[in-house]
Amino acid sequence: MTDTVTTHGVPERTAPERMVPRRPRKPRAYPIFRVVVLTLTVLVFIAPLVWMLVASFKTNVDIYDSGKTFFFTPTLDNYANVLGRNNYFTFIFNSFWVALWSTVASLILGVPAAYAMSRFTMQRSAMVVLMARIIPGVSLLVPWYFIFANLRLVGGFGVLILSHMFVALPLIVYIMMSFFDSLPTELEDAGQVDGLTPIGAFLRITLPLSVPGLATAGILSFIFSWNNFMFALVLSGANTKTLPVAIFNFVSYASIDWGSLMSAAVIVTVPIMVIALFTQKYVVSGLTAGATKG
Amino acid sequence: MTATVTNKPTARKAYSAWANRHRKWLFAAPAMIFVGLLIAVPLAWTVYLSLTDAQGSVRAESNFVGIANYLKVFGDTERFWPAVLRTFTFTGGAVATEMVLGMGIALLLWRPFKGEKWVRVAILLPLVATPVAVGMMWRLIFDPNIGFANQFLGWFGIPAQPWLSGQGTALPTLIFVDVWQWTPMIVLILLAGLTSLSEEPDEAARIDGANSWQRFRFVTLPLLRSTVIVAIVLRGIDALKTFDILYATKGKGGGSFHEVETLNVYAFGLSFDYNDYGIASTVLILFFLLIIAIMWMITYRRKGEGS
């Protein structure tokens, strides 16, 4: 028996037993190694974003000039061009509007569903909703396009919001299920003993306690909708175009206006990064939801 | 029990009692109906379309052709099978690299230290950045003539690379972009797993004289097994379906030689650039079955081995 335990690659100790086991000396090199590697990691993740930001303040002449990689006269022309001449305020609004309503609608549908699935352990139903996360979006886009084109809805906000809900809903159900799983039922039970109906207990006790979970689910759903490209590429019209589609359309011409393209990229990424930084705790807990349950 | 419909408070009570009794389905049904309508109906339609020669306009007539599309797709060694291979290359390359790097970074971040906050912020930024914008950003950096990547290589005397515009280098470059954006996700998931571990097994192994590699390989990694599998499954599903960065950097058809055309890009192109709905649906059904099969294999293995 002891043999099988000690053969896990751990060398058996040959030294006589000590009363107080001495910790092996920590190698000095490790802290330095750690700092160096982590600094490099941070650089690799941040540098490209800084590069994008820097390029957005350069004229196209400067972007083409390798002598002006780091030293140049910053200009706001690109932003003026993108926001002024290219109607980007409309696209910003479109992205925001679609993200907002698809998130709100998905929360209304998804939170009670997640609650029921968690409390009644409806595993098969949960699987149905989570299937939406597995199915390739393109396979639904063709029929959606058929259906919505026949209903003459393609190009409106409604279709975009519906399609983004398709991404948001499984995400919200997934996050809220693992949140409700970890929420003790005692308080709800106590509420019911005190005369609340089960639904009353959910509305008045569980929901207020779920604010952190709701924030997590809501923020992530907003981010995913804001970043979504494929659905809007097919289903949006000239007036409902979202930011990622607008940026993509920038390069469909022969020569690329790099400065404006980079400022457009900054305009789409910076708001979402700011939101993510202020709500870091929630974003991280949402991205890692269910990861430790196994 | 003797409630009359005219008695309003009693009717409300009866309704409330009914709602509470059926709250399980009352709560779950709207979401499930929504998902069902948006998935089941379209999926059934896609299956039907894959058996027809539908193409051209949305309202055009189409004929039932049986499994002809499937035979055609299976025999297509020019676009379909290379796309399958690229999908596997991209997913395998990206997820494997992300797992190794992610595990390394997660282990470095595991024990608290000064400045931890900054590293966490830095790794969160790529993760939330809009993929299309990320694609455009790397397109500028990897531009063969004006990009920083070649300028950087030049400092070390390394000749300029074609990166995204090279037929052989485009896919590896895009794997790199995917790794840049999604390694943080793996770090966060693994870090959540690591922090939930109790320190005792690690401590015990240390006292027994195990070195760091042995402690990682024989103590931490087995304890982290389910988290690692969750990370692979979540990332794998998304990597198989990668579309945004491929389409944003290489455009229609995955470049002029289809060098980055994965199944998703191929199916999208068939559907919306060529309006070849019948063949597109066939490719999509096969792609969908492939994803299901892979996910089933991973989760089946997991159940089979037990814990």
pLDDT in tens, B215-255: 999 999 999 988 998 899 889 989 999 999 999 999 888 88
Partner B contacted by A64 (CB < 8 A): yes
Q: Where are the alpha helices (DSSP H) in A135-257?
A: 137-150, 157-182, 186-193, 198-201, 207-209, 211-227, 230-235, 243-250
Q: What is the pLDDT of residues A113-128, one digit of tens each?
A: 999 998 888 888 888 7
Mean pLDDT of A132-139: 84
Q: How far apart are CA B241 and CA A126, in angstroms?
A: 21
Residue A102 or A20, more confident:
A102
Q: Which of A226, A194, A250, A276 is nearest to A96 (CA)?
A: A226
- So where are chain B's domains? 8-69, 74-305
Say if A13 is an interface residue toward chain B (CB within 8 Å). Answer: yes
Q: Does B34 contact A145 at a Cβ distance shorter than 8 Å?
A: no
Please, are residues B43 and A139 in contact by the beta-carbon 8 Å criterion? yes
Paired strand residues for A260: none
Substitution target in B47, B130, B134, B299 with the highest count of A β-carbons within 10 Å is B130
**A158 vs A156: CA distance, rounded Å:** 6
Query: Of the segments A20-24, A125-129, A217-221, B56-60, which one has the largest average pLDDT value?
Result: A217-221
Residues in chain A, total: 294
Angle formed at CA A123 by CA A117 and CA A129, multiple of 5 degrees: 75
Whether residues B227 and A113 touch (CB distance < 8 A) is answered with no
Mean pLDDT, residues A230-250 taken together: 90
pLDDT the model gives residue B26? 84
* Selection from B242, B241, B259 nearest residue B250 by Cα: B259
C-alpha A109 chain-centroid distance: 19
Q: Minimal Cα–Cα distance from A289 to chain B, Å?
A: 8
- The amino acid at B69: N
**What was the pLDDT predicted at B307?**
40
pTM: 0.88
Output the CA–CA distances (angstroms, integers) from residue B157 to A95, A104, A225, B153, in the order listed.
Answer: 44, 54, 43, 6
Q: Is B56 left (phi over 0), alpha (psi -120 to 50) or beta?
A: left
Q: Is the pLDDT of residue B93 over 50?
A: yes
Q: Cβ distance B178 to B204 under 8 Å?
A: no
Look up residue A64 and give its two tokens.
Answer: 């083409």
B204-214 mean pLDDT: 88
Model pLDDT, residue B294: 86
Question: What ipTM was reported for this prediction?
Answer: 0.88
Q: Which residue has the tokens 């279709």?
A: A159
- Confidence category of residue B146, pLDDT binned at 50, 70, 90: confident
Contact yes or no for B131/B177 (Cβ under 8 A): no
Question: Tokens 């970043």, residue?
Answer: A227
Domain B74-305 maps to which CATH number in 1.20.1730.10, 3.30.870.10, 1.10.3720.10, 1.10.490.10? 1.10.3720.10
Summarize pLDDT for B13-71 with one digit per residue, the tens.
888 888 888 888 888 888 888 888 888 888 888 898 899 888 877 667 778 888 899 99
Residue A6 reports pLDDT greater than 80? no
Tell me the pLDDT band of A197, cut-offs 50, 70 and 90. confident
Domain spans in chain A, listed from the N-terminal domain onward: 30-75, 86-287
A86-287 folds as MetI-like fold (1.10.3720)
pLDDT score of A139 more than 70? yes
List the single residue in B with minimal CA-CA distance to A198: B20
Residue A106's CB is within 10 A of a number of other CB atoms, namely: 28
Of the candidates A66, A116, A276, the beta carbon closest to that of B27 is on A116
Give the bridge partners for B64, in sequence order.
B52
Residue B207 has phi, psi (to 5 degrees) of -65, -35
**Which residues in A lie closer than 8 A to residue B109 (C-beta atoms)?**
38
pLDDT at A4 over 50: no
Q: Cβ neighbours of residue A204 under 8 Å, at least 6 residues apart?
A: A191, A196
A41, A170, A244 ranked by CB distance to B130: nearest: A244
Q: Which two tokens stand for residue A264?
A: 């457009």
Which segment, B73-82, B87-96, B202-211, is predicted with the most confidence on average?
A: B87-96
Question: How far, in Å, CA of B67 to CA of B53, rounded?
Answer: 10
Amino acid letter for position B292? I
The amino acid that residue A199 corresponds to is: I
Q: Which amino acid, residue A27?
A: P
**What distance in Å separates the CA atoms of residue A131 and residue A153, rounded to the nearest whole number?**
26
Residue type, B210: A
